[in-house]
Copies of this chain bind each other. A is one copy, B any other.
Amino acid sequence: MYKAIIFDVYGTIFDMESLKNDMDQFNEVEAKSISQLWRKTQLEHMFLRQVMQRYIPFDELTKESLRYVLDVHEIQYNREDVNQLFDAFLDLDYFKEIPKVLSELNAKNLEIGVLSNANDNMLMPLVDNSEINKYIDTVISVNEIKQYKPSPASYALILKYYQMTREDILFVSSNAWDVSGAANFGFDTVWVNRSKSYFDYNGQSPTMTVNNLNEMVKWLEMNKR
């Protein structure tokens, strides 16, 4: 039986589709296009900065990505516009099953943590100040070591906070690259495949694939190893 369940944040607990909801200045089509390219660019910058060994905190990286996205959309902007749009990242909606699922995991005496590439400026408003924070023991940011997921060093941070062996940890993410990274480090993993996609195999497969987190709770109950 696992002792701790560690969740990814963006896309796993919080719905990235809600990023477009705080963009009233754009029409629906434009807001969707901006939010999707923003997330895609943010991920690319993250991986590339890790490869180039040029870490910058996630809030800065997120704003840098946004400027490119606004350029591509031929939208004029100043610093204030960027800061105002950035706030959309601090006000995402969690998936509706999350409070129930975390509460059920708490009841099983499992530790619950999150590991995110975001820094505290972004995690505090989103996680710490949200109503689901009461279910979460530990909020871990890679900013502590300045190495982004999916680097091995980022997942090693979990073992620093939890005095456990790798076998005690279950890592949960909707992002195939994050599942690959955690599995590569040696954790069992759950891939939350909400959009019924194909897993983008890159050397590692998830221990378990589920369509939502309720299914994960059921799987845990069936597999009390």
**Number of contact residues on A: which range applies?**
20 to 34
Do A51 and B151 touch across chains, with their CB atoms under 8 A apart?
yes
Do A51 and B50 touch across chains, with their CB atoms under 8 A apart?
yes
> Which of A50, A54, A202 has the most chain B CB atoms inside 10 A of its CB?
A202
Taking CB atoms, residues of chain B closer than 8 Å to A222 are none
**A203 touches which one: B54, B150, B200, B201 (CB < 8 A)?**
B54
Taking CB atoms, residues of chain B closer than 8 Å to A198 are 68, 71-72
Asked if A48 lies at the interface with its beta carbon under 8 angstroms from chain B, I say yes
Interface SS majority for chain A: helix
Number of copies: 2
Do B203 and A68 touch across chains, with their CB atoms under 8 A apart?
no
Q: Nearest residue in B to A46 (C-beta to C-beta)?
A: B51
Taking CB atoms, residues of chain B closer than 8 Å to A201 are 64, 67-68
Q: Which residues of A approach B to under 8 Å, CB–CB?
A: 41, 44-45, 47-54, 56, 64, 67-68, 71-72, 148, 150-152, 177, 180-181, 184, 197-198, 200-203
